[in-house]
Each structure stands twice: as structure tokens, then as C-alpha cells.
Amino acid sequence: MRTTFILLFICLVSIEIHGQSDYFKTDSTSSIGVKLVDNGEASNSRFCTVKNGEKTDVFSPYQVKEYGFGDGRVYVSRKIQLPDSAQCVFLEILVKGKKTLYYYRGKQLKTFFVGNDSTLFVELPKNNAAKTGNYRDQLRQLTTDCPKTVDALKLVNYRKRQLAEFINRYNDCERKPFPYLKVGLTAGYNLMKLSPTNNRLEATLNKMDYTNSGVFTVGLFVDQPILLSDFSLHAELYYAKYGYSYNKMIDSKDVDFVANISSLKIPFMIRYSYPSNRIRPFINAGAIAANNFKNKILLYNATITGNTIETTSMQDISPSQKYQVGYTFGGGIEYNLNYRNHLFIELRYSKLLNPTGTEQLDSSEYHIITGINF
């Protein structure tokens, strides 16, 4: 029993060392714990370079059948058809499973191969010159036994990470939303409320009763997945025009407050979307910037002294800062119209602030937003 545990321990240590160390294999030997030189994708596809003290050994795909880096990248020797001839090269294994995805990078060539443990080994060129169709058509033929990946295939681009993600989903026969870049239109309704900061020049502004002003907004959005995950960078650009008019008796004065503000606003957030297929709840949070390219605030004071009425008009008593920044967060649901087009609706809150010590007006907003991607 003791001998069995010792042998098991040795095997586990060997596996751990192999998984975390550089190695290479020939037909007869395996060398583990060596120092491989990473010369970039193109050179790695042609040579296996080993640093041996002061000396560097370079092996061809005819001498080494497999090598791997400690970070998990593995290259295997395979004979493929290049434009000028059939050659033995090193292919990087991107996915290993029911279907294995390989990647080759030459000096002026980038291509993929799909294989399995039996006889299948086919190239996956971006555009097939000899036949009609492209890489998506070939993948469709190779993955007919898993219809759950049909929609994902329509969104896959000819890139390492995206093709690897698709093959992984096919190997698991898994259906869930495939991340892709979304660009579209937004429309919404905002309730904006002004709030005074430290208005030393005009203390009257601190005593006004500020209420919400509701306006409609229109804009654009872009949603970029982060590393093909359920997280994305979500940014918008929208236009809004606000108008305010308040009246209040303050210190025996009849005070009228009038403001007109036109703004371009850019929220920039990180969004998490739950990976359900038809309806996807999401939350997001981040920063918001505003360019108040038109802002005019007028304050009218009417003072009654006996039979005398004195009216004073003051312009730009405390105008909003032209540029403001703040924070924003919200949540909503996204509805899948088809494999590419999605409609979302969201409730969001934003707070726009001015620099500390200035005498402008901050603002807060509640948004109801809807959008659809092209």
C-alpha cells in the first residue's frame, strides 16, 4: 500500500511539472523543464527553439513532434498543404476535444484546421477559392450533429479567440448567447433635478425648491464584449435639452429662477448580462461625462418696499459647469429578437458633479432607456 501511494505521488508531481513547465517531445524522448524561446507565432510555427545555457538549439517539425510552453500553449507537428508545397509545420492547439482546433501562422498566411482523433483533418480557410462558401459554411457542415450552435456560428469571426469559443461550445453542444459587438440607437425619457453646491455668491440659490424636469432623449450606443465573456464595455452618446422655471418668496422677495441647458452626455460603463437565451437581465455601472454646450441661468428678484417695487435681473448667477463628470448605474432586460438583433429597456440613475469649491449646480437624473442594435 505504501508503495502504491509513493507511485501515485510521483505521477501527480510529474503531471504538475509537465503542466507548468516548458517541454518538447521527439519520437523517442520527452524533455520536461527545459527553457523554450518564444519567437512569436510565425517563428513558433516553423521551429522549436530551446535555450540550453549559453547555447540555443533549434529543432524543425521533422525532429520534434510536440512542444509546449508553461503558460499552456501547445504546438504539434503536422504536414499541411501550403500554397507552394506540402510541408511539415508546427500547429498551435487552440481547443482539444471532440473536435480539435489548430492554428497556423506563416509569414503571409493565417489559417485554421479542424481535426479529431480519427481521420478528420481539414483546413478552415477564411475564403475557399476552390469551392463556394467560406469558413462558416465549412463549420456548418462539420457541426451538423449539434444544432444548438447554429446561431452562434452566424456571429463567429475569423479570429483565434472566437473560433476557439465556438469549437468549445460545439464540443459541449451548448446553446447560449455568443458575445459580439453591438451598435445601435437609443431613446429615452429623463427626469433631471438641479441641486446647488456651495453658492457663496448667491445664497438665494440654496433656498429654491428644485423639482424634476422631464425630457425625451435620443442617442447612439456601442456594446463591446470583454474577452468573449458575459461582461462588456457599454458606451452611449445622447442629446438632451432641459428647461426649468421656479418661483418662490424668499426673504420678502419674489424670486424667479429660469434655466435652459442643452447637453451631450456620454455614459461609459461595464455591463454584466446573465447568459440566458431569450431574455437576458443585466446590470451596469460606470462614469458619465457631460458637455453642457448651452447653459443659461437667469435669476429675477422683485423687492417691494412700501409703494415701491424694485426689480433686478441677474444673468448667469451660477451657471452649470460646461463640462461635468459623475457616476451612473442601472439595470434592465435585453430581449432577443433574432440571432443578431436585440431590444433592451433599462432604468438608470446618474449623478453629475462640479469641481469642489465651485459655485455651479450639480444635477441628478433618472432615466428610462430603450435601445435596439442594427
Instruction: Tell me: do 86 and 28 sit in the same domain.
Output: yes
Instruction: Tell me: do 124 and 212 sit in the same domain.
Output: no
Residue segments in the chain with a per-residue pLDDT below the cut of 70: 1-19, 118, 129-132, 197-205, 252, 304-320, 355-360
The DSSP code for 148 is G
Domain region containing 209? 182-373
226 and 183 in contact (C-beta within 8 Å)?
Answer: no
Last residue of a domain, one of 136, 151, 172: 172
CA 215, distance to chain mean position in Å, is 30
d(CA 125, CA 102): 12
Instruction: Tell me: do 106 and 161 sit in the same domain.
Output: yes
Last residue of a domain, one of 172, 191, 223: 172
Instruction: Tell me: do 151 and 37 sit in the same domain.
Output: yes
Residue 84 burial class via C-beta count within 10 angstroms: exposed 0-12, middle 13-18, buried 19 and up: exposed
Q: Can you give the pLDDT at residue 16?
A: 46
Instruction: Tell me: do 108 and 235 sit in the same domain.
Output: no
pLDDT digits (tens, 9 = 90+) for 244-285: 888 777 776 777 778 888 999 999 999 999 999 999 999 999
Instruction: Tell me: do 143 and 230 sit in the same domain.
Output: no
Which residue shows C-alpha cell 433618472? 366
pLDDT digits (tens, 9 = 90+) for 167-222: 999 999 999 999 999 999 999 999 998 877 655 545 666 777 788 889 999 999 99
Q: Can you give the pLDDT at residue 107?
A: 84
d(CA 353, CA 296): 18
d(CA 109, CA 126): 11
Spatial neighbors of 330 by CB under 8 A, at least 6 apart, are 283, 284, 285, 346, 347, 348, 349, 367, 369
Instruction: Tell me: do 167 and 260 sit in the same domain.
Output: no
Q: Can you give the pLDDT at residue 17?
A: 46
Q: Can you give the pLDDT at residue 250?
A: 73
| Domain CATH number, residue 192 | 2.40.160.20
- What strand order describes the sheet that includes 74-81? 55-59, 48-52, 30-36, 22-25, 66-68, 74-81, 86-95, 100-105, 110-115, 121-124
Instruction: Tell me: do 157 and 195 sit in the same domain.
Output: no
Instruction: Tell me: do 189 and 309 sit in the same domain.
Output: yes
Last residue of a domain, one of 147, 172, 197: 172
Q: Can you give the pLDDT at residue 267?
A: 98
Instruction: Tell me: do 144 and 230 sit in the same domain.
Output: no
In this structure, is residue 327 part of a structural domain? yes
Count of residues making up the chain: 374
Q: Can you give the pLDDT at residue 356?
A: 58
Other C-beta atoms closer than 10 Å to the C-beta of 223 total: 25
In this structure, is residue 355 part of a structural domain? yes
Instruction: Tell me: do 193 and 322 sit in the same domain.
Output: yes
In this structure, is residue 77 part of a structural domain? yes
